[in-house]
């Protein structure tokens, strides 16, 4: 198996690393503040990052999926919030439009996303429906040439700043009584919705997590994404790939924490020697880098399976869930170890490892909790 990256992939990763040099001076303030970084988001758009997965004919840069992941992971090392914005735009909104929209919809929706003129959000979760989206209460009722949406979505990444949404709603019931779920493209300028509570979170502060309220929100009939009743398929295929995006953010967080811990352990002295020379610290570093590389291998393997066999292949689905499960739990362990290696310094904001730990803690929850990944893996493995 060839583990080398193409020249183009390396070029994109370098462009992301260069961009991070611009972010670095404000990164602590950014990740601990409350402001959405419109200027840096615009800068990501100028560099083409907001349309990484969108083909050139729709205004994107048409990079391959691995190049996009490399950019996202690189940015996560400096700002997880900017990386989350990139993930929402590309993985959670751009890709489902690419995979399920009609050509007319692609012409309309993709160029403003690719240029960063419009920010996108993925609105699936509700107060009573997280791991089990079938429990959703948001409805869409057909009235003439419109769908009328009513309901509340919760914990929506960038919901406060997004103007383009993909929203899931119940459009009826199947003969077996199960809900018929459909996905809709919603443009705030045409179909206004309210932004409710902006959540106070443990971390990832420069990516607002928001409640969205739909009250008789009229959406043009042609904004149905896929066919009526395709909602689960749109969500699942999007989340299967999205797992790799989260996993790559975990690689970025863990690598950033590992490198800081390595540097600190190589400089800090106690009892007359560098602390890495104590086996208790040196072995911690050894475990951190081993786990990080194991997670990388899982992620790159899952990408390879996607390229070889496509999005619906059970081997890809299981491996993507394994990559997300392992990388997110690895990131939690590695960032926590980085705090420990820093001692008291690790608890202080300026060393950043406490921030990486708080950010990593999110990753076993979003886009399918660890328990849901285990459920997915065991189901596909038992079917195989």
Nearest to 212 by CA among 283, 300, 301, 124: 124
Residue 251: CA count within 13 A, CB half-sphere: 23
Based on the shown chain and the rule CB under 6 A, indicate whether residue 365 belongs to the binding site for ligand FAD.
yes
Q: Which of 137, 375, 379, 380 binds ligand FAD (CB under 6 A)?
A: 375
- Give the list of residues 6+ apart from residue 219 with CB closer than 8 angstroms, or none: 140, 146, 147, 148, 149, 184, 185, 186, 190, 191
CB of 205 to ligand FAD, least distance (A): 10
CA angle 378, 379, 383 (to 5 degrees): 115
Q: Which of 7, 354, 367, 381 is catalytic?
A: 367
β-strand partners of 185: 166
The count of residues interacting with ligand FAD (CB under 6 A) is 21
CB of 119 to ligand FAD, least distance (A): 12
Based on the shown chain and the rule CB under 6 A, indicate whether residue 130 belongs to the binding site for ligand FAD.
yes
Based on the shown chain and the rule CB under 6 A, indicate whether residue 171 belongs to the binding site for ligand FAD.
no
State both tokens at 182.
């459909």
Given the rule CB under 6 A, which of 38-46, 117-125, 310-318, 326-334 is the region that contacts ligand FAD?
117-125
Given the rule CB under 6 A, which of 20-28, 57-65, 330-338, 364-372 is the region that contacts ligand FAD?
364-372
Nearest to 32 by CA among 81, 89, 73: 81
Give whichever of 247 and 285 is closer to ligand FAD, judged by the CB atom: 247
Based on the shown chain and the rule CB under 6 A, indicate whether residue 123 belongs to the binding site for ligand FAD.
yes
Q: Which of 9, 41, 90, 125 binds ligand FAD (CB under 6 A)?
A: 125
Give whichever of 39 and 371 is closer to ligand FAD, judged by the CB atom: 371
User: Site map for ligand FAD, 138-167, x if CB under 6 A?
Assistant: -----------------xxx----------
β-strand partners of 147: 142, 219
CB of 4 to ligand FAD, least distance (A): 33
Nearest to 157 by CA among 149, 145, 165: 165
CB of 154 to ligand FAD, least distance (A): 7
Is the CB of residue 141 less than 8 Å from the CB of residue 219?
no
Tell me how far apart the alpha carbons of residues 41 and 356 are, in angstroms, rounded to a whole number.
20
Could you give the angle at which helices 65-76 and 279-309 cross, rounded to 10 degrees? 150
Quick one: how many helices (H) and strands (E) in the chain?
A: 12, 10
> Is there a catalytic annotation at residue 367?
yes
CB of 167 to ligand FAD, least distance (A): 9
Please list every residue from 190 through 219 that binds ligand FAD, using CB under 6 A: 201, 204, 209
Based on the shown chain and the rule CB under 6 A, indicate whether residue 122 belongs to the binding site for ligand FAD.
yes
Give whichever of 234 and 275 is closer to ligand FAD, judged by the CB atom: 234
Tell me how far apart the alpha carbons of residues 121 and 98 are, in angstroms, rounded to a whole number.
15
DSSP 180: E
Catalytic residue ranges: 367
The footprint of ligand FAD (CB under 6 A) covers 121-125, 130-131, 155-157, 201, 204, 209, 362, 365-367, 369, 371-372, 375
């Amino acid at each position: 198996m060839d583990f080398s990256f193409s020249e183009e992939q390396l070029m994109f990763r370098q462009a992301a690393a260069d961009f991070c040099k611009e972010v670095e001076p404000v990164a602590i303030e950014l990740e601990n503040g409350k402001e959405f970084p419109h200027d840096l988001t615009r800068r990501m758009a100028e560099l083409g990052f907001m349309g990484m997965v969108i083909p050139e004919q729709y205004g994107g840069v048409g990079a391959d999926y691995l190049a996009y992941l490399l950019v996202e992971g690189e940015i996560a090392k400096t700002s997880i919030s900017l990386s989350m914005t990139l993930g929402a735009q590309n993985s959670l909104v751009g890709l489902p439009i690419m995979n399920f929209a009609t050509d007319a919809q692609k012409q309309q929706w993709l160029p403003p996303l690719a240029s960063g003129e419009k920010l996108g959000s993925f609105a699936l979760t509700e107060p009573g429906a997280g791991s089990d989206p079938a429990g959703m209460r948001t409805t869409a009722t057909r009235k003439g040439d419109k769908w009328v949406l009513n309901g509340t979505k919760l914990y929506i990444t960038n919901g406060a700043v997004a103007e383009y949404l993909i929203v899931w709603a119940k459009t009826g019931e199947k003969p077996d009584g199960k809900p018929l779920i459909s996905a809709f493209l919603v443009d705030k300028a045409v179909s206004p919705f309210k932004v409710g509570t902006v959540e106070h979170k443990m971390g990832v502060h420069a990516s607002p997590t928001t409640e969205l309220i739909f009250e008789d929100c009229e959406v043009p009939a042609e904004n149905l994404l896929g066919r009526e009743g395709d909602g689960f398929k749109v969500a699942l295929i999007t989340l299967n790939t999205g797992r790799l995006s989260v996993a790559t953010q975990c690689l970025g967080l863990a690598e950033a924490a590992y490198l800081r811990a390595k540097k600190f352990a190589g400089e800090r002295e106690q009892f007359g020697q560098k602390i890495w020379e104590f086996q208790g610290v040196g072995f911690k570093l050894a475990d951190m880098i081993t786990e990080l590389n194991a997670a990388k291998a899982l992620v790159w393997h899952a990408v390879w399976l996607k390229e070889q066999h496509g999005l619906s292949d059970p081997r890809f689905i299981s491996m993507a869930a394994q990559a997300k499960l392992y990388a997110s739990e690895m990131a939690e362990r590695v960032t926590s170890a980085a705090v420990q290696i820093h001692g008291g310094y690790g608890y202080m904001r300026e060393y950043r490892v406490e921030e990486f730990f708080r950010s990593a803690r999110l990753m076993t929850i979003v886009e399918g909790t660890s328990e849901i990944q285990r459920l997915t893996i065991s189901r596909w493995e038992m079917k195989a």
